[in-house]
Amino acid sequence: MSYENAVAQMYALGHELAQTPSQKFDLAHMRVLLAALGHPENRFPTALVAGTNGKGSTAATLASILQASALKTGLYTSPHLIRMNERIRLNGEPIGDDDFAMLHDVVGRTAERLVSEGDLPWHPSFFETLTAMAFEYFARSQPDMVVLEVGMGGRLDATNVVEPRLSIITDVSLDHQKYLGETIREIAGEKAGVIRPGGVVVTLPQLSEANDVIGNTILDVGARAVNAVPYVPPVSPGSASCMSREAGIWNRYPLEVMGTRIMVESPLVGRHQLRNIALAIAAAVELRNLDLEEKGTSQITAETIARGVRETRWPGRFQVVPAAGDDPEYVLDVAHNPAGAWALRSTLSAAYQDLGNVREITMVFGVMRDKAVREITEILFPIAAHVIVTQANNPRSARPDEIRQAAARVSAGTDIEEARDVAAALRRARDVAGSRGLVVVTGSIYIVGEATRILGVRI
Write down how long the chain is: 459
Q: Tell how far CA 149 is from the center of its chain.
A: 7
Which H helix or E strand runs over 35? helix 27-36
The 10 Å Cβ neighbour count of residue 109 is 10
Question: How open is the CA angle 203-205-208, to the nearest 5 degrees?
Answer: 125
How many other CB atoms sit within 10 Å of the CB of residue 397? 21
Radius of gyration in angstroms for the set of CA atoms belonging to the chain, rounded to a whole number: 22
* Whole-prediction pTM: 0.91
Distance CA 364, CA 332 (A): 10
What are the pLDDT digits (tens) for 249-307? 688 999 999 999 999 999 998 888 999 999 999 999 999 988 655 556 789 999 999 99
Instruction: Label residue 360 by pLDDT band (50, 70, 90).
Output: confident
Rounded Cα distance, 84 and 95, in Å: 9
Percent of the chain predicted with pLDDT > 90: 72
Domains of the chain: 3-310 (3.40.1190.10), 319-455 (3.90.190.20)
| Max CA pair span of the chain | 68
pLDDT(240) > 50: no
Q: Chain-wide mean pLDDT for the chain?
A: 89
Q: Is the pLDDT of residue 243 over 70?
A: no
Residue-level pLDDT at 350: 79
Continuous segment of H or E residues that includes residue 351: helix 338-351
End-to-end CA distance of the chain: 27
> What pLDDT does residue 20 have?
43
User: Does the pLDDT of residue 379 top 60, yes or no?
Assistant: yes
Average pLDDT, integer, range 393-404: 91
Q: What is the pLDDT of residues 61-86, one digit of tens each?
A: 999 999 999 999 999 999 999 999 99
C-alpha to C-alpha distance for 107 and 285, rounded to whole angstroms: 35
